[in-house]
């Protein structure tokens, strides 16, 4: 995986597409499309097998789309239950073949619709959290834009979570928080401050493992991501399956 393709259009403006990572990384591997019992394939979740520093990995990313038509089809990067089930099946496949998993998250949250609820949105997210946390393979998540609510957590329940320095990670949007707390969505700025949704605050609380610096030069941001992934994967792969699961359990017990 050439790191210059990881975040090709992402500099200091977070939240841009990461689909290039998947498209390039799977050039010599295979993209995987899985149809599920919850309504077929979900284009908001893209996944497949890639090569990263001469080893096979499974890559999963949310995809917001590029054109207006794509954004509508992909629900602006908010997955349906079928998307979470697709991600789970990819990760379980990776566990079967002992491949590490790299997840890239940029979503405002799971898609809120009648159809999503009827197809078990809450159950799909819960099953991801339950089952992924028990798989004895290295799983690293990079949040590169928005990490919103359970929709992000369903892809961030592995060993480590890292954030680009201009990204956010929160239980819900500041507007939603303000609406619940004060019945006034215009107080979003105040809500964002209280929520401590920025990487620096989350690192201090031990919710994430680290912050990845961003640069105005896209290639440098890519290299920063590559270095973190390579270093942390090597560390995690030194652990036995039992150690990996014990450390993961300890991580989440802190919360």
Report the candidate in 142, 251, 164 with the shortest Cα–Cα distance to residue 205. Answer: 251
Return the pLDDT at 248: 96
Domain ranges across the chain: 3-253
Q: How far apart, in whole angstroms, are the C-alpha atoms of residue 29 and residue 11?
A: 27
- DSSP letters of 198-221? SHHHHHHTTSSSEEE---SSHHHH
Contact (CB, 8 A) for 108 and 67: no
Q: How far apart, in whole angstroms, are the C-alpha atoms of residue 102 and residue 160?
A: 10
* DSSP symbol at 4: G
Return the pLDDT at 37: 46
Q: How far apart, in whole angstroms, are the C-alpha atoms of residue 245 and residue 250?
A: 9
Kindly tell me if the per-residue pLDDT of 13 is higher than 70.
Answer: no
- Tens digit of each residue's pLDDT (9 = 90 or more) over 39-77: 568 889 999 999 999 999 999 999 988 899 999 999 999
> How many CB atoms sit inside 10 A of residue 201's CB?
14
Return the pLDDT at 2: 42
Q: How far apart, in whole angstroms, are the C-alpha atoms of residue 19 and residue 8?
A: 9
Q: How far apart, in whole angstroms, are the C-alpha atoms of residue 61 and residue 41?
A: 14
- Tens digit of each residue's pLDDT (9 = 90 or more) over 120-139: 999 999 999 999 999 999 99
Return the pLDDT at 33: 47
Q: What is the mean pLDDT of residues 237-247?
A: 97
Return the pLDDT at 94: 97
Among 140-144, 173-177, 179-183, whose mean pLDDT is lowest? 173-177
Half-sphere exposure of 178 (CA within 13 A, CB side): 13
- Tens digit of each residue's pLDDT (9 = 90 or more) over 76-122: 999 999 999 999 999 999 999 999 999 999 999 899 999 999 889 99
Q: At what angle do helices 81-96 and 121-132 cross, to 10 degrees?
A: 20
> Candidates 3.90.226.10, 1.10.510.10, 3.40.80.10, 3.30.470.20; correct CATH number of 3-253?
3.90.226.10
> How many CB atoms sit inside 10 A of residue 39's CB?
16
254 pLDDT band, cuts 50/70/90, is confident
- C-alpha dist (Å) from residue 240 to 50, 137, 237, 253: 23, 9, 8, 20
Q: Which 3 state secondary structure label does DSSP give 51?
A: strand
Return the pLDDT at 17: 40
Q: How far apart, in whole angstroms, are the C-alpha atoms of residue 236 and residue 97?
A: 16
- Tens digit of each residue's pLDDT (9 = 90 or more) over 190-216: 999 999 999 999 999 999 999 999 988
More confident residue, 21 or 209: 209
């Amino acid at each position: 995986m050439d790191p210059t393709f990881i975040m090709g259009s992402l500099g200091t403006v977070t939240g841009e597409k990461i689909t290039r990572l998947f498209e390039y990384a799977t050039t010599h591997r295979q993209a995987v499309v899985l149809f599920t019992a919850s309504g077929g394939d979900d284009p908001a979740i893209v996944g497949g097998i890639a090569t990263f520093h001469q080893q096979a990995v499974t890559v999963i990313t949310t995809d917001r789309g590029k054109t207006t038509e794509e954004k509508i089809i992909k629900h602006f990067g908010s997955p349906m239950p079928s998307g979470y089930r697709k991600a789970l099946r990819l990760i379980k496949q990776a566990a079967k073949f002992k491949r590490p998993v790299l997840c890239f998250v940029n979503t405002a949250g799971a898609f809120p619709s009648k159809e999503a609820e009827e197809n078990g949105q809450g159950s799909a997210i819960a099953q991801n959290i339950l089952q992924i946390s028990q798989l004895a393979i290295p799983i690293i998540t990079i949040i590169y834009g928005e990490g919103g609510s359970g929709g992000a957590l369903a892809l961030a329940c592995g060993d480590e979570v890292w954030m680009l320095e201009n990204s956010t990670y929160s239980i819900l949007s500041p507007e939603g928080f303000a609406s619940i707390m004060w019945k006034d969505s215009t107080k979003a700025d105040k809500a964002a401050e209280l929520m401590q949704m920025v990487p620096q605050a989350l690192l201090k609380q031990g919710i994430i493992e680290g912050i990845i610096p961003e640069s105005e030069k896209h290639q440098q941001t890519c290299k920063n991501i590559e270095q973190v992934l390579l270093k942390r994967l090597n560390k995690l792969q030194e652990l036995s399956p039992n150690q990996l699961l014990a450390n993961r359990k300890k991580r989440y017990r802190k919360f």
